[in-house]
């Protein structure tokens, strides 16, 4: 999905040394300039293609590990050691860069057309902040992006896929609503015993999920606890996911968030991962499914996805094939 901010790295992982990673099908190098601002550029050196993430930052510029060419944050080559400092540098010797911003303890990359006025970081008021009271974990999954988002919108898998952690949880999802408001999918459902009666307003497990299309998920548990899951494609087959819990409990909030993240990442998510990784086809269209009433949120997501892909196809030249995954 173009024209979207995607998180690509936790802020705290970006220090003095350049970091190499693959996101959105590109091999990237991330580093910080002299002011500490994050920079994201293509990792292949424009000279002869060495991996710039093996280089170092010198005087606020990125130095290639191979022949020492240096690149400024805006991409221009500022030094060619073998030519000496007196010789002019050819103007086409530039590294391609991406617009990045920092917020909520994450480095976000603008994936789309570079414009004067970019939209602000998405949902920066809604998503739980990093820091005291919060805990964050990141996962790399061998699951395509759309499948990850499908899993994030699924409520009725819980009593089956996670039955070990929810013994006796009801399997009827009722009431259940899914609606679209702008780019936000709102779903709310109650998992309860199928007692043949309308819901009494008390029984069962109430869950509320909001998704800011395409990749931001917000969950509420009671008054105090919020969780987010954000997905960024690594390439066509792999996805990077950030989980964060924040608890408003006085003093113990951080501990609660830590416990919830550990439970999620160690116990719950591996069960989802195994199912999503092996689901076929890996790149489904809506017609490949036989969706039921409880999948209404997923149906909305795929409808938006297909509509946007179609709109992008009409306006964009064909994208180059994504590179293979690593890290």
Q: Which residues bind ligand FES (CB under 6 A)?
A: 45, 47-50, 64, 66-67, 69
Beta carbon of residue 314, minimum distance to ligand FES (angstroms, whole number): 38
Beta carbon of residue 56, minimum distance to ligand FES (angstroms, whole number): 12
150 binds Fe ion (CB under 5 A): no
Q: Output DSSP code: residue 312.
A: H
Q: What's the alpha-carbon Rg for the chain, to the nearest Å?
A: 22
Q: Which does 130 bind (CB under 5 to 8 A by kind): Fe ion, ligand FES, none?
A: none
Beta carbon of residue 169, minimum distance to Fe ion (angstroms, whole number): 12
Which residue, chain included where needed, has tokens 């779903």?
A: 187
Beta carbon of residue 290, minimum distance to ligand FES (angstroms, whole number): 52
Q: Output DSSP code: residue 314.
A: H
Question: Which one, 63 or 272, has the nearer CB to Fe ion?
Answer: 272
Question: Which one, 49 or 120, has the nearer CB to ligand FES?
Answer: 49
Beta carbon of residue 106, minimum distance to Fe ion (angstroms, whole number): 23
Which is it for the CA torsion 147, 153, 159, 164, positive or negative? positive
Rounded to whole angstroms, the Cα distance separating 149 from 215 reads: 7
> Which position's Cβ is nearest Fe ion?
272
Binding mask 238-277 for Fe ion (x = CB under 5 A): ----------------------------------x-----
Rounded to whole angstroms, the Cα distance separating 254 from 245 reads: 9
CB 46 within 8 A of CB 116: no
Q: List, in order, residues 6 or more apart from 190 with CB less than 8 Å away.
A: 173, 174, 175, 176, 199, 203, 204, 205, 206, 207
Q: Which does 272 bind (CB under 5 to 8 A by kind): Fe ion, ligand FES, none?
A: Fe ion
Contact residues for Fe ion, defined by CB under 5 A: 272
């Amino acid at each position: 999905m173009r024209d979207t901010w995607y998180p690509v790295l936790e802020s705290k992982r970006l220090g003095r040394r350049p970091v190499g990673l693959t996101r959105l099908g590109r091999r990237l190098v991330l580093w910080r300039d002299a002011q500490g601002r994050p920079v994201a550029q293509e990792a292949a050196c424009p000279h002869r293609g060495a991996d710039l993430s093996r280089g170092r930052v010198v005087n606020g510029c990125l130095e290639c590990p191979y022949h020492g060419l240096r690149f400024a944050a805006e991409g221009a080559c500022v030094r060619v050691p073998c030519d000496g400092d007196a010789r002019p540098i050819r103007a086409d010797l530039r590294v391609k860069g991406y617009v990045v911003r920092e917020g909520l303890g994450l480095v976000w990359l603008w994936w789309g057309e570079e414009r004067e006025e970019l939209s602000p970081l998405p949902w920066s008021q809604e998503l739980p902040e990093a820091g005291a009271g919060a805990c964050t974990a990141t996962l790399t999954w061998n699951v395509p992006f759309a499948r990850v988002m499908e899993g994030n919108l699924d409520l009725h898998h819980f009593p089956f896929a996670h039955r070990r952690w929810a013994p006796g949880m009801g399997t009827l999802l009722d009431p259940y609503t899914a609606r679209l408001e702008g780019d936000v999918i709102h779903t709310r459902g109650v998992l309860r015993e199928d007692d043949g009666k309308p819901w009494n307003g008390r029984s069962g497990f109430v869950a509320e999920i909001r998704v800011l299309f395409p990749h931001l998920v917000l969950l509420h548990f009671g008054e105090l606890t919020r969780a987010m899951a954000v997905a960024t494609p690594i390439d066509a087959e792999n996805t990077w996911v950030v989980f964060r819990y924040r608890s408003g409990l006085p003093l113990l909030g951080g501990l609660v968030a830590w416990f919830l993240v550990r439970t999620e990442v160690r116990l719950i998510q591996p069960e989802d991962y195994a199912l999503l990784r092996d689901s076929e086809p890996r790149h489904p269209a809506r017609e490949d499914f036989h969706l039921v009433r409880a999948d209404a949120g997923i149906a909305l997501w795929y409808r938006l996805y297909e509509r946007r892909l179609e709109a992008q196809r009409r306006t964009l030249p064909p994208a180059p094939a994504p590179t293979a995954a690593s890290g």
